[in-house]
Amino acid sequence: MMKLRGGVDVLVATPGRLLDLEHQNAVKLDQIEILVLDEADRMLDMGFIHDIRRVLAKLPPKRQNLLFSATFSDDIKALAEKLLHNPLEIEVARRNTASEQVDATRTLCG
């Protein structure tokens, strides 16, 4: 905790843990310059949206936001619209498409 209080360049935490660290005065959310939300789709699936909103409310208005998601559901789009300004969307594959490069093999044992 003491090292966190001294400041860090990178901190990786779930939204709930981040709020807990802030409550313990180990981190100051109002000093964050870059926010990265990775696996945003999974966080929404796991019910972290309320904690995400609480974190966002404590952040400074001027910061860089990065949002990463394996899928881009309507819920993720809604979160992105609130969080991002003039976003750049990088799409690896079209929505709901399977990779053509998958080579599956089935082996029966026993």
Where in 4-103 does DSSP place strands (E)?
A: 34-37, 64-67
Q: Report how far apart, in Å, the C-alpha atoms of 7 and of each of 18, 29, 33 are.
A: 14, 11, 13
| Tokens standing for residue 45 | 């699936």
Q: Please tell me the predicted confidence (pLDDT) of residue 89.
A: 79
Domain encompassing residue 57: 18-83
DSSP secondary structure letter of residue 70: S
In a domain, 57, yes or no: yes
Count: domains in the chain: 1
> If you ran DSSP here, which 8-state letter would residue 2 be given?
H
Query: Which mean pLDDT values do the consecutive 10-residue runs of the chain (110 residues) have?
Result: 83 90 92 88 86 90 86 82 80 65 72
- Structural domain includes residue 41: yes
Does a structural domain hold residue 22? yes
Q: How far apart are CA 53 and CA 14, in angstroms?
A: 13
